[in-house]
Structure 1
């Protein structure tokens, strides 16, 4: 049965009311969708732009999301990856090679990957270790703080700024633009009337910063990642300044916000599960590896992405037509009882842990997954052994895309 022949699912997963609920309340709806045969067809998300779409198919089971992720020839990224209707040319400013399919995507991913030489990776790892210590140095005995601003948000932005050589004078503006870009759905950051324009403005600020950095490094090469990026070459192809700008938008938003949100959620989970915390601290170096995987599964910082069906196909017994939109709900996949034992439990010893916190595999598996793991390992080593943090009630971001915490009051000794 095609999309236009069937009615919308009675389960609402698109309204602001739905996304204003807690993660656990939303999970009850996703559990009902996972238990439904085939796929479910849903009303389109509200849009900031004058666009209309008929709706989308929801992929809520882990197996279905993995299938779509591994078959870009059937489930394409080229027409857009935003579940809320947004013009493709606007999306391209912020998504760079996320909105490409192989073979084009393969070239760009190889270009970016080639810049991460062993030397650059070692340099970044050392920066992360030092920066994690600096962040916690400033927390020791700090008393009352907002844990998000004082800790979670600092390490990833410091790391990205140093990696790309963002001048100190620009770092605050870059951090603010990245935060706003992922927070537009929340009334605190922009009114409905302002959202579309503000989204575009933040993208252009970040892209412009990247373009200037690329131009500077072409004229003044240094021993850093940005120099490696502007000099990278694959099959005779090099990145233009505009493409480097687009990469900065992606890195400043995706590379920053994901680790930031995982840090806040993991701290809350450790506070709520003192037995898990004690288990981790009893052999931190031996246990932080699996613990970080559970931090990421539990947090699922990116809730969903979209794809468009490229050719008529079938998934979970459901006929899909070329042009149909599908939503990949990672937040649902990471609580799928078919893939996880006791998925609602925070279990640092979980093994195996086939979470989709970095996507469902395939060509778009998160390029920054090792950097995120490095940041979390180093930051939690400092946090758990050097400070005593008492957490208050989190203030959650209203978003269908980011599992965000805006503020987290804390008292640090």
Structure 2
């Protein structure tokens, strides 16, 4: 395909996360594409290609049940024949003589399939688009990739902000900006707002791969809800951009097609040339 074009999301960005997840968990190769599709449907349910004329709740239920079935099958197999993978460790772990119930295992699997797949893919896609739109930053990174990729990854996560919003429940009465939030009330957090806050970032509208410190909330704001897979995501981003920019230094992203929705900052497809 040298010199030609290809859908970057389909042929590159989506491949690394699902392969990594599958190897960690032990998903059979024959099931990987379907697992990735089901995970995508859970976060991009408003995309017409998943709805196909159906109600959103039906799409959500169908794909969640499929992931539960995969989890149940994997759990049964790993209990009988444990392997050297995360799922074997999970289903056979004991605390005070107790093991996780099947429902807990299924919930954990859905979390891994969604959080460990789509967010990294979106950051990869947005990252290539950003490096295309800011060629000076790309050149700066390539001039000393090994020592500069660390800050670059943090800035690409800030720039992409793959999760745009999330809801929490107030654990106590709290006043924020003159607004009283009462215990039990729901609060929606806008991560994109935080990552483009002019009080926290100098010129947030600019991609600055050398930005340091970079107090972005792309992995959460710390505490118990901080992303468990942050270190893995960073490693994946370092690896994929290291390979891409070394092997295809002239790669360019075209105009992306976005997925409608207010949860994940998702790119459905994006052409690239090299």
TM-score (norm 2): 0.95
Whether the aligned pair in 2 keeps the contact of 1:306 and 1:328 (CA below 8 Å) is yes
Partner residue of 2:69? 208
Whether the aligned pair in 2 keeps the contact of 1:276 and 1:347 (CA below 8 Å) is yes
Correspondence 1:189 to 2:50 = yes
Structure 1 distance, partners of 2:34, 2:217, is: 31
Q: Within 5 Å, give how 1:241-390 maps onto structure 2.
A: 241-387=102-248, 388-390=250-252
Partner residue of 1:23? none
Structure 2 distance, partners of 1:235, 1:290, is: 42
Partner residue of 1:68? none
Partner residue of 1:240? 101
Partner residue of 2:273? 411
Structure 2 distance, partners of 1:317, 1:342, is: 27
Partner residue of 1:152? 13
Whether the aligned pair in 2 keeps the contact of 1:215 and 1:241 (CA below 8 Å) is no
Correspondence 1:401 to 2:240 = no
Structure 1 distance, partners of 2:258, 2:90, is: 36
Structure 1 distance, partners of 2:208, 2:98, is: 45
Partner residue of 2:37? 176
SS in 2 for 1:188: helix
In structure 1, the gaps of 5 or more residues are: 1-139
Using the TM superposition, give the Cα deviation of residue 204 of structure 1 relative to its aligned residue in structure 2, in angstroms. Answer: 1.1
In structure 2, the gaps of 5 or more residues are: none
Using the TM superposition, give the Cα deviation of residue 341 of structure 1 relative to its aligned residue in structure 2, in angstroms. Answer: 1.0
Structure 2 distance, partners of 1:299, 1:235, is: 42
Deviations 1:247-299 (A, max 9, x none): 11111111100010000101010011111001111111101011000010000
Whether the aligned pair in 2 keeps the contact of 1:395 and 1:408 (CA below 8 Å) is yes
Structure 1 distance, partners of 2:227, 2:3, is: 35
Partner residue of 2:254? 392
Structure 2 distance, partners of 1:222, 1:375, is: 23
Whether the aligned pair in 2 keeps the contact of 1:301 and 1:402 (CA below 8 Å) is yes
Using the TM superposition, give the Cα deviation of residue 308 of structure 1 relative to its aligned residue in structure 2, in angstroms. Answer: 1.9
Structure whose CA Rg is larger: 1
186-195 or 372-381, larger mean C-alpha shift: 186-195
SS in 1 for 2:51: coil
Structure 1 distance, partners of 2:206, 2:19, is: 32
